[in-house]
Amino acid sequence: MKGWMGKFRALFLLGSLSLILSGCGVDKLSALKPDGYGAELLYDLMILSIAIMIFVFIVVMAIYTFVLIRYRRKKGQEDFIPKQTEGNKVLEIIWTVIPIILLLVLAVPTVQAVFDLAETSSDEADIRIDVTSAQFWWQFDYAGEEISTSQELYIPKGERVYLTMKSADVIHSFWVPSIAGKMDTNPGDNENTMYLEAKEEGVYWGQCTELCGPSHSLMDFRVVVVSPEEYEQWVNDMKNADPEATPDTQVAQEGQEIFQNNCMSCHAIGAQPKGVGPNLTNFGDRAKVAGILEPTKENIKNWILNPNEYKPGNTMPANLVNEEEAGKVAEYLMQLKPSEITPESAQ
Ligand code: CUA
């Protein structure tokens, strides 16, 4: 009896824990709240397969309960042996045909979706973006536009955006659960492709979903979905972003000089050649620094001084500049906002 109670208690604990955990999560990071073509396709398949599962479960449990009650050994009939039968053609056909039908109901839309999601090229002049993952950040290069961003991917609502994806180091995986399915990014020449088609404007979170090192959990990014007109304006603003533009404040100007002397061997601003570090053209739009910190001047300064404290395993060197210089660079970076179209305006 005691062992049974113990098991029950463990089950109860596990059950309530999973209930509590199911309440966790971010609104714009959920496959259960689809706002994109691919995500809706996958959501419908999930609902269909769960519905089939529930149907099978209910039917099996009903038969199970019926047999359990109807054919129990009854009092006074302990020695009764029921009529022995072997094989029943009708029953066997029924329980073979029903699963086949259920599998077909599931398989036809699944295969359709697989082919639909694999349509990752089109002849029209559409938006193509090269996605490059690295430990532990994302870069997005807009083909033909000479625009690069990191950590933030701007796309227009209602248009199909084609992605070509690869990794600069280990395998990562690109996932914006509210907009589309997920796709691995591989090192080497093995490029993967997929598309995004967002149905609502807004800011969505994406996440690396392949364990890729100590800061895997910090490897997130945002997808900013704006109207086609706003997207066009954003593209123009980004194209015109001048890496040499003089910042407004004296401190930021000094920060710019320090940045140019110490940081630009790895980082690019505007259409400068791709560095081994993130492109920082619109750094001022970021909602987080290092995937975890609020983008305040103090936090950015501390991050520049000691990156590994906040994002273990990343490749940015520590103490390239002193504390005063890091503060100035932080001020410079915070004012890098080339466009009025920002994640805030999209929300
Ligand atoms: Cu990149 Cu996990």
Burial of 267 (0-12, 13-18, 19+ CB in 10 A): buried
Q: What's the pTM value of the predicted model, to 2 decimals?
A: 0.85
In a domain, 50, yes or no: no
- Digits of tens for pLDDT over the chain (347 positions)? 557 778 888 888 888 888 887 777 777 888 889 999 999 999 999 999 999 999 999 999 999 999 999 988 888 888 888 888 898 999 999 999 999 999 999 999 999 999 999 988 877 768 999 999 999 999 999 988 889 999 999 999 999 999 999 999 999 999 999 999 999 999 999 999 999 999 999 999 999 999 999 999 999 999 999 999 999 999 999 999 888 888 989 999 999 999 999 998 899 898 877 888 999 999 999 888 888 889 999 999 999 999 999 999 998 998 889 999 999 999 999 999 999 898 888 77
Nearest to 314 by CA among 334, 289, 345: 289
DSSP state of 134: E
CATH number of the domain encompassing residue 335? 2.60.40.420
CA 220–ligand 1 middle distance (angstroms) = 8
Q: For the chain, what is the domain count? A: 1
In a domain, 308, yes or no: yes
In a domain, 70, yes or no: no
Is the Cβ atom of 172 under 6 angstroms away from ligand 1? yes
In a domain, 339, yes or no: yes
Is the Cβ atom of 311 under 6 angstroms away from ligand 1? no
In a domain, 139, yes or no: no
In a domain, 300, yes or no: yes
Is the Cβ atom of 286 under 6 angstroms away from ligand 1? no
Number of neighbours of residue 99 by Cβ within 10 angstroms: 10
In a domain, 257, yes or no: yes
In a domain, 304, yes or no: yes
- Overall size of the chain counted in residues: 347
Residue 279, domain extent: 250-346
Nearest to 123 by CA among 162, 94, 165, 156: 162
| Ligand 1 atom closest to residue 212's alpha carbon, by position in its atom list | 2
